Each structure stands twice: as C-alpha cells, then as structure tokens.
C-alpha cells in the first residue's frame, strides 16, 4: 500500500507550542509572521480584519485558499493549532479540565511523539478529537472561561452566512456534548 501524501498546517497567532516537526507550514494570524505568504492578511484581508471577532476561526476560514495554493496535490491535510493536535493514540496524562483530552509536556512531545501519517478509519475522511461532555451546556462552559457574548456572536455569524439556521444555533448552544 502506498503511503498517502499529507501536508500538515498549524493555525496560530504566535509561535506554536507544538513541536515544529509536527507541521509543515504555519497559517499565521494577528502580529505573528506578518510577512508570510500564509498570513491571513495575505490570503484574505476580510478574515484578517474580522479576526478581533473571529479569533482562530479566521485561520480556519482561509483553509480552502491555503490548500488550493500550497497543498492541492496531496491526499490528506492535517490541521493543528497553537497548542493542540489530534493524535491517533493516547499519549500524555488525562487533562484535569477536559477529561477526553490528554496533555503532554513540551519535552515529552518532542522526545516521545513523532508525527506519523495515519488514515482516518471512517469514510468521512476526518479524524477529530473525542467529544467533550459539559454538565451545563456549550454556552455555559464557554462562559466560564470566555465572554458569553463571543460564542453568541459566533452563532449569529453562522446563521448570517447560512451554516446554521436559528433553531440549529439554539440547539448547538444548549448542547451538552461538543
């Protein structure tokens, strides 16, 4: 079997905490790597200007442009972020805050976890993190560590661009699994 060609992107607003060996290119946001061809401002000025509202989602929004320009001949795309990467195996210790996630020290990530190419097992083509369960709701959990208004703004934006309708947005915010 031929190993698939994969391109790894890390979306980040500053130098990623994950090891450089875990990604090929960084999609940069804000004041990080402003001269890079992969800076959101270079790719789509709208999302650069929208970053104060969209935060890291601005980097996700430009993924189709990035893939088309920089990785259109690969079989698989991997997306990580400033400090997060989905691994196909358990490593590190259970996160005390998010029980379905695991945490690695920076030293452990560099020494014990080398990136490998893995193919998602499902037909969807996606490998995503295990769902989180919240005692309250998505909006309740978000409000504990962020501003409640921000997630409401995200939901409103999703309605405005047609990703969700009002009923679905309301269900999402009340959901206990994320």
Q: Is the pTM higher than 0.75?
A: no
pLDDT of residue 130: 72
- For the stretch 39-85, pLDDT in tens is 999 999 999 998 887 878 889 899 999 999 999 888 888 888 888 88
pLDDT surpasses 60 at 177: yes
pLDDT > 90? residue 25: yes
From start to end of 16-163, where are the E strands? 25-28, 76-81, 93-94, 102-103
Separation of alpha carbons 165 and 172, rounded Å: 11
Sign (positive/negative) of CA torsion 132, 137, 138, 142? negative
Tokens of 129: 């993190």
Enter the tokens of residue 140.
Answer: 């309740």
Q: What percent of the chain has pLDDT over 90?
A: 40
Q: What is the helix (H) or strand (E) element at residue 67, kind and residue range?
A: helix 63-70
pLDDT tens figures, 124-158: 666 667 777 888 899 999 898 888 998 998 899 88
């Amino acid at each position: 079997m031929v190993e698939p060609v994969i391109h790894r992107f890390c979306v980040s607003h500053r130098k990623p905490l994950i090891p450089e060996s875990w990604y090929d290119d960084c999609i940069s946001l804000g004041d990080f790597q402003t001269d890079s061809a992969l800076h959101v401002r270079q790719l789509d000025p709208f999302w650069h200007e929208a970053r104060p509202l969209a935060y890291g989602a601005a980097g996700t929004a430009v993924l189709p442009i990035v893939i088309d320009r920089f990785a259109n001949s690969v079989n698989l795309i991997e997306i990580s972020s400033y400090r997060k990467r989905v691994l196909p195996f358990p490593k590190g210790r259970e996160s005390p805050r998010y029980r379905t996630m695991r945490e690695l020290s920076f030293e452990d990530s560099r020494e014990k976890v080398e990136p490998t190419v893995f193919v998602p097992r499902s037909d969807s083509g996606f490998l995503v993190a295990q769902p989180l369960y919240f005692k309250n709701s998505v909006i309740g959990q978000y409000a504990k560590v962020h501003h409640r208004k921000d997630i409401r703004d995200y939901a409103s934006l999703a309605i405005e661009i047609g990703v969700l309708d009002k009923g679905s947005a309301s269900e999402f915010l009340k959901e206990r699994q994320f």
